[in-house]
């Protein structure tokens, strides 16, 4: 039987690549996103090529959920949850729904987040709060909810998708760097709390990844960025997904680690 996986930010380029990798492995995946639910439903349905069914989410913070099962089995392989995970209510609703369709998760992948390029002095306080809620507090809240359930069985893994900017900082991405730096510190600290219970907490810190999030860069800027990276290019979403998958299978002795994945950039 496959593992029970909760994946946030599942509708983005990296999220979709991660989802496909785990579904290919035969895992059961709850795909969580706030927008582009149609893409998540298509992804879930494509995991088995079978008919779909809908069921209500457990809170008004989340919309209708979608699952797909194989023709040979009534057991669903994928579920979709739509809700705003930058709020405490959205995080609680996700886990209320996960309790219904998954039970205790084996793995939580905190991949949801936003990016904003600009000088810090040009950010409004509301934008700063949104950045921290979306990138840091959501990871903390969701990890807390996952840990409550994993502690009952003394087993589980939590994996944060961070960024090299959380390690080194980036000009014009100051608030994003601060939020991801917080994710890294949280990862190291929470890992120490959960290690005695057989639960690992790690973070993957990708460098430049070729996704629509970098769509603001011109072709010349992308080339200049690639020239800075020793391997000579940005990572693909599929490469990040493969690294996530490898970490999900690492020995439990690997915990509290923040692992750069940047082509030798830093």
Catalytic residues: 176
How far apart, in Å, are the Cα atoms of 239 and each of 19, 33, 197, 259? 13, 21, 31, 14
- Contact predicate 95/141, CB 8 Å: no
How far apart, in Å, are the Cα atoms of 187 and each of 45, 128, 174? 33, 21, 20
Three-state secondary-structure class, residue 98 = helix
- Contact predicate 255/191, CB 8 Å: yes
Q: How many angstroms separate the CA atoms of 202 and 259, rounded?
A: 8
Cross-strand bridge partners of residue 259: 204
Q: What is the DSSP letter of 2?
A: -
| DSSP H or E segment with residue 201 | strand 199-206
Three-state secondary-structure class, residue 177 = helix
Question: What strands lie across the sheet with 4-8, from one edge to the other?
Answer: 52-55, 65-69, 76-82, 28-33, 4-8, 107-110, 156-161, 199-206, 258-261
Which residues make Cβ contacts (< 8 Å) with residue 224, sequence separation at least 6? none
């Amino acid at each position: 039987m496959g593992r029970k996986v909760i994946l946030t930010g599942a509708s983005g380029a990296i999220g979709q690549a991660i989802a496909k990798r785990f579904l290919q492995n035969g895992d059961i995946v709850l795909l969580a996103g706030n927008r582009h639910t149609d893409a998540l439903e298509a992804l879930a349905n494509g995991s088995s090529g079978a008919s779909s069914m809908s069921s209500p989410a457990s809170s008004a913070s989340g919309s209708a959920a979608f699952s797909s099962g194989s023709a040979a089995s009534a057991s669903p392989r994928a579920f979709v949850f739509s809700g705003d995970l930058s709020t405490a209510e959205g995080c609680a609703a996700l886990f209320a729904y996960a309790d219904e369709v998954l039970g205790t998760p084996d793995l939580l992948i905190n991949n949801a987040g936003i990016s904003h390029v600009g000088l810090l002095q040009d950010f409004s306080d509301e934008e700063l709060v949104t950045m921290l809620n979306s990138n840091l507090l959501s990871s903390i809240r969701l990890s807390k909810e996952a840990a409550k359930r994993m502690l009952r069985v003394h087993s589980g893994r939590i994996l944060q998708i961070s960024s090299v900017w959380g390690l080194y900082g980036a000009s014009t991405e100051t608030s994003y760097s601060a939020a991801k730096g917080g994710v890294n510190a949280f990862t190291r600290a929470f890992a120490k709390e959960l290690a005695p219970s057989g639960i690992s907490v790690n973070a993957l810190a990708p460098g430049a990844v070729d996704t629509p999030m970098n769509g603001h860069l011109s072709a010349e800027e992308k080339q200049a960025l690639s020239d800075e990276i020793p391997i000579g290019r940005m990572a693909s979403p599929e490469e990040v997904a493969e690294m996530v998958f490898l970490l999900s299978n690492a020995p439990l002795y690997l915990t509290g680690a923040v692992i750069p994945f940047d082509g030798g950039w830093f």
